[in-house]
Each structure stands twice: as structure tokens, then as C-alpha cells.
A and B are shown apart, each in its own frame.
Chain A
Amino acid sequence: MAVAQAQALVPDLHVMDADPDGEAQSLLELAKWAIRFSPVVALDPPDGLWIDIAGVEHLFGGEEALLKTLLGRLENNGIHARAAVADVPGAAWAVARYGKGGIVPPGRAVDAVSPLPVQALRLPPQTIGAMHRLGVERIGQLAAMPRAPMVRRFGREASLRLDQAFGHAAEPISPIIPEETTVATRIFAEPIARLEDLKLVVCQLSEEICRALAKRGEGVRRLDLVFRRVDERGAALRAGAAKATRDHKHLARLFDDRLETIDPGFGIEEVVLIASRTEPLDENQIAARGLDEAEEEADISRLVDRLTARVGVGQVYRLAPVETLVPERMAEKVPPLSPPARSAWPDGLPRPTRLLDPPEPIITTALLPDYPPAAFIWRRVRYKVNKADGPERITSEWWLGDQHRTIRDYYRLETDKGARFWVFRDAPLSEGGRWWLHGFFA
């Protein structure tokens, strides 16, 4: 039917381009989603799914409840679907599309399928046309015909489909293979407890996992190591990699130090290593030494992993500049391998190397109200100021508004012993400004 013709029939018709690829992708997504009902899910393009529920229906409270749950969830997601449960895929296909759906009792596929039109046999349109010309409308009529003339007339496929719908011929479905997490397991006949043995096992397991990941072109970002003890208690360790890696020696080393913390009890009988997070990782060409003129930036991702394994995530970091003038907020933690910051702190402004956070109050004496202090008392010690530099006024950013506005006048002070301090007054003296010690230069 041409678009113009369709539009003539339905005046406010909404026309969209067909998107077979997109639809196939959506169907695949839906199939992945359906794995929650059964591990065996197969695609039936363009618009169907087969779910093999043999042996899983009791988990959902029977076939009926399973169907209800499935359809209800689909409905909630805006997908109108029909579903049928039958002994064989062919019967379920026919009942779901041309019958009422629902459950075909075991062994009753022939009864359920026979009254359905021949279109329910998944045959090409020409064959269906030929059947219609001969007055064969129902599957039952087709089944009643003598088999040999029928095959001659409609082809071998018609016979096959008929047998599949009735359950006389096996029909294998090819399930989609979900992306599995790569797991390596060792079960011991004799429980192990020695640290050396554990280390060896972890080494072997990580080698196994790396080999499996290499086939899939992936690298590890996070590894979980799970132990099961003889007394059924478990223990687990987790290690992360800052960059996807397949270096099994490196991965094994991440656990090395912490294996000591595992209490083997009466022995460990199972060790499982799980690559719980992976990322695509291509093989890299290693640059030949001496060919590259510029020295390659040292790869410190391994070091970062080892440090992180020791002190924990978030404890290994880099400090990146923040666009602010308030000293306490000038640096923020960023992951150690994040791209280098482009901006930097303004240079030329003297800043201390150590900061007191929060600032500590000091008692000062000054020659004149607006002079830098001539002496100050901090932590009950009196410091005589010889030289001073300032003030440098630091205010909070203008875009924060007046409400949280802080105005600080910073002075650098050098005492008579040469020590240098960074102090500030939080407001002009006339407004009751107080003095604070904030940092140390030297």
C-alpha cells in the first residue's frame, strides 16, 4: 500500500520510516530483560521472543502467575504483548499470535492449534495463498489431508511446520548468550589454609580470568575474591584497577598483602575470583625502546592500583585546581589518573605550604588600627613580628552572592626568628574584625 493511499484512508496518519536495525536492537534489549524469567531466551524476529520456562515456572508461582507477571511488567513498560505457554515453541507461537494466548495444557497442543488459521504455521505467503486457493483455511484441515500429497503440493516446509506446531518434530531454539561475568573457581579436595597456597591459587585464578577476558577483548577494572571455608563461612576481598588491565601478575599482586587478613579457620575449600567489572581493552602495540624520541609518560596506573589496594579507594588522589579564591576550597581531590588539569592556581600570589584548617584565632597587637600586627599570641606563645607584607584582600566569588560573602585581609608576617606566618583579619577593624592564623610558609 502506498503512503498516499494509506493517508487517504486514515486522514491523520502518522508516517514513520521503518527502522529494522533499531527494532532488532530493541528486541535484543527486551530479550536481555526477559532473562530474569528464564536463562534460555531466544529471539524470534521481527516481533517475538521465546522463553523456555521448563523448570523455572515454580519460582514465579506456576505458569499462570508467570504469564501474569510477565505481561503485567511489559504492560507497565508500555509494551502490549500477547503470550502463550505450550509444550513446543511452534504451538506457543501459533496460540499467542492467532489464538487467545494463555496456557495450552500439556499434551493438548493438537487441540489448541487445530482450529487456528494456517497463517499460524509460520509459512511463506505463497504457500498460505496456495492453501487458501484449495480451501484449506484451518490447520486441522491441513492435518487431516493425507501427508504424501500434501508435501507434494505445499512443500516439505509445510509438513515440518505442522509437525512442529503439533509437537511431533523437535524445534531447537537458539538462546541469546547474555554477557556473563567472568568467573574462575577452584574447589579443593583437601581444604587449604597456608598463605603460600592461597597466593598460588590467586595467581592461577587471575591467570585463568585474564585468559578468558583476552578472548572477549576485555580488561579487568574490579576483581572480587571470595573464599568459602569448611565451616561454610565466607570471606571476600575486592581490588580495583585504575585502568583496564589483563596483566595477571599485577592483578594477583593486588591481593597479596591482604591475603594475610583472611582467616582460613579449619581450611578453605573453595576460592572464586570474579571479574565483577570489565571494560573493553584492545591489544596494544608496545613502542620499541629508543624509537620514540620523546620519552613516554611513565605509566603509573599499576602503582596507583597497588596503593589503592593498600589504603582504599579515594585515598589515592591528585589535587586539581578549583576556580575559587578562598584558600580552603582551592584544591579538590580527583582520581589519580584523570586527565591533567588545564587551569592552574594563579602564580605570583604568595601562598603557604601548610594550611591550618580551620584557622585558629590569634591575639594581636598593632601600632595603628589598620597596620599589620606587631606581635601576636598563638597557642599561648608570643611571636614578635619583624616584617609584614599585605594586605591581600580575598573575597568569596561574586556569583555566590552577598549572603555567604567573606572578606579577608591576608598578611604575611615574618617573626624575629625568621618564621613566616599567613594571618588574616575577617573584617575591617571598625567592624569588629578578628585575627586568625591560617598557614605557614616557613
Chain B
Amino acid sequence: MDARREVIESLRRQIERLHSGSRPRKALPFGVTPIDGHLPAKGLASGALHEVIESGPAAEFAGAATLFAAGILARLKGPVLWCLTRRDLFAPGLMQVGLHPNRVIYAETGRDGDVLPLIEEGLHEKGLGAVVGEVTKLGLTASRRLQLAAEASGVTALVIRRWWTVAQKDLTHAPTAALTRWRITPAVSDDLPAQGLGRGRWQVELMRCRGAEPCSWIVEACDAQGRLALPSNLAHRSHPAQVRGSAGG
């Protein structure tokens, strides 16, 4: 019996070691206490693959998802590689959340499938702050490869899922090896006392996360430094009121 227990113990230790090896060391906090508290790494784990999906009226254009990603990039250090297939990105918009154009290098290809090798190539480069890819199709194998590359180099990978047809949209529900999957939906912003538009507001959903339950928050959109914030009229409510039920897969 003792021998058996010993074997089991040693196996457990091995598994633990394996886990800690692949566990990301650092994380980038969002600066929003409920989100950071919910995430196992107390922030967006660096050296891992994260997916961002947009839903909403103009979700094909991923305006909010792009801004969400750019806000994260703005708070990271180092140059950023942005791999894309379409030329609809408007760089001055990225500067609004603090991502300076000098930091971003774009790599453009004509085909969706060619973006993934570019992302992987970028993830091998330790000097980069992060790699962003705009991808329609992200399979399990491909995402695992990216995740491993990110773990090895410690570079954060963000994948913005783009889709143009209903069939392509369904692809975004397929499982991937990404550490987290976020869904950004524009939400109605606060009324200002006068005419005009205030700070945007998003519903940020954590749809999938290794080691945490799905969850959803309403936050104020990125500011000039790329920071999210809790809406002032929600910030002082009790915790359950602002955390809505999960949106599911």
C-alpha cells in the first residue's frame, strides 16, 4: 500500500511540476478590481494566447474588440506586431487609447490562413511586447501551437476573430487552446447632462478561461492610456448586481 501511495504522490508532484512549468509567470492587470480578482493570474496572463470576439450591430468590423486589444497593447511595453489581411484598420484610432504608431509593425497577407504562421513567427521573438492577429479560422491545433510559442517566449498573443459570413461567425464558437476568450459588446453609455457622447461602455464577457468561471462585466471603454474603468453609477453597487450571469459558449 505504501509503495502505491508513494507512486501516486510522485505522479502528483510530476503533474504539479508540469503545470507550474506551463503556468504564465506574469500578468497584466486590467486595473478593474472585479475582473482582476476573477482571473486566476490576477490579470491578463502574459506569455499566453487570448481571443477577442466582438458581438453587436457592426461586429464584422470589430471596432470595440480592436480598441479593447489596443488598450491592452498600450499598457504593455515593447514593439507590437499586428498581423492582418484587411486594410480597414485606422491607425489614428489606436493612438486614442495610447498605442503609439511607432510601436506597431504591421504584417499583411492576402489570405486568412497565412496570418497564423506570421503570428507564430512573431511569438518566437522575445523582444516583442505582444502579437496581434486578425483571424477568421483558428483551429485547435493551430491555437495550441500559438499557445506553446507564446509560453516559450513570454510574448502575449491576442487574436481578434473576424468574420464576414454566418458560417464564419459560427467558427468563433469552436473550442481553441487559448487561455482566455473575451467577447466585447458595445453597451449603451451614460446620458450626459447636455448633448453629446461620453465615454463608451462595453459589456466585457469572459467566455472561457482556464481556471475560472465565465463571467461578464459592464465597463467603461479604454481611456487615453488604454485603461478600462468601472462605470461610476455601477461602481458602488454590491458585487452580485454588476456581475451578470454567464453568457455561455
- Chain A residues at the B interface, C-beta cutoff of 8 Å: 257, 298-300, 302-304, 306-307, 310-311, 315-321, 327, 330-331, 336, 340-341, 344-345, 347, 350-357, 381, 383, 386-389, 412, 414-421, 439-442
Contacts and interface: CB of A to CB of B under 8 A. Distances in A.
Contact of A353 (B56, B90, B114, B187): B90
Of all A-B residue pairs in the complex, the 10 with the closest CB atoms, nearest first, are A298-B127, A440-B63, A442-B64, A353-B93, A418-B186, A389-B197, A355-B90, A340-B102, A419-B57, A345-B92
A387 B195 CA distance: 8
B90 to A, nearest CB: 4
B36 interface: no
B43 interface: no
A419 B95 contact: no
Nearest to A438: B90
Contact of A302 (B88, B95, B125, B202): B125
Interface in B168-218: 184-189, 191-192, 195-197, 200-202
Most B-side CB within 10 Å, residue of A386, A388, A418? A418
Given A418-B189, A419-B56, 5 more contacts: A311-B108, A315-B107, A347-B96, A355-B88, A441-B200
B70 interface: yes
Contacts of B224: 347
Contacts of B197: 350, 387-389, 412, 414, 420
B79 interface: yes
B92 to A, nearest CB: 4
A303 B121 contact: yes
Contacts of B101: 318-321, 331, 341, 344-345
A204 B107 CA distance: 30
Given A303-B122, A354-B62, A311 B88 contact: no
Interface of B: 56-58, 61-64, 66-67, 70, 78-79, 81, 87-96, 100-102, 104-109, 114, 117-118, 121-122, 125-128, 184-189, 191-192, 195-197, 200-202, 221, 224
A318 B57 contact: no
A298 B128 contact: yes
Contact of B108 (A315, A331, A388, A420): A315
28 contacts: A302-B125, A304-B105, A307-B81, A310-B121, A315-B109, A317-B105, A321-B92, A331-B90, A347-B96, A352-B93, A353-B66, A353-B89, A353-B90, A353-B93, A354-B88, A354-B93, A355-B89, A357-B88, A383-B57, A386-B188, A387-B189, A387-B197, A388-B197, A414-B200, A417-B188, A419-B58, A420-B63, A442-B63
B105 A440 contact: no
Given A304-B105, A331-B101, A357-B88, A311 B118 contact: yes
A439 B64 CA distance: 12
B106 A316 contact: yes
A300 B58 contact: no
Contacts of B70: 353
Contacts of A357: 87-88
Contacts of B96: 347, 350-351, 353
B189 A307 contact: no
A319 B81 contact: no
B53 to A, nearest CB: 14
Contact of A442 (B87, B91, B191, B200): B200
B186 A442 contact: yes
B88 A307 contact: no
Given A336-B105, A440-B63, A351 B90 contact: yes
Given A298-B78, A300-B79, A387 B191 contact: yes
A388 B221 CA distance: 17
A388 B191 CA distance: 11
A315 B67 CA distance: 23
A414 B188 contact: yes
A389 B195 contact: yes
